[in-house]
Amino acid sequence: MSEIVLFHHMLGRTDGVVAFADRLRERGHTVHVPDLFGGRRFDCIEAGIAYVQSEGFDTVAQRGVDLAEDLPANSVYAGFSFGVIPAQQLAQTRPGAAGALFLYSAVSPSAFGAGWPASVPVQIHAKDADPFFTDEGDIDAAREITAASDDGELFLYPGNEHLFAEAGHDHYDAAAAALALDRITAFLERLDSAH
């Protein structure tokens, strides 16, 4: 079973994020969910963005990287939206990464130095009309990452919701979330069988 480090989005370490981690735990995986916001939660993405800007975008993202130092290097690094930033940095730069799992976001690999390491499997999930994903360059970054990986998959779901796998949120899409979880489960099983 996989050891997963799951980073939350701009709303903080919400019940929906914890519930998603619990779904992975039910499948036998060990899931760590570091809190980058020190217990703060926000009702809207804009409020979360304002908090991160006040703390310093890079400072908050670096917290995630620092919090992972005491966790196994051969983890699967996962993130929701903003949480993709520390997850992607770790997957790209920390030796031994077992894989990467990104929901709602992706960053150009050049942001972390060299390109995406071909040996690191990656799976990315987003809505095909989510303006945060399709209008801000994330979709291009996702295609670049999955093309560079020897085992890269990009799954696009119909709709424009951003936090579509966040149970309890207005964006929640139960059917898309269930399909994403099935695909994530298969991805993690594949990683487990490879090690």
CATH for 3-194?
A: 3.40.50.1820
Identify the pLDDT of residue 73: 87
pTM, to two decimals: 0.95
Give the pLDDT confidence of 122-169 residue by residue, as tens digits.
999 999 999 999 999 999 999 999 999 999 999 999 999 999 999 988
Query: How far apart are alpha carbons 136 and 157 in whole angstroms?
Result: 17
CA distances from 41 to 9, 38, 44 (A): 10, 9, 9
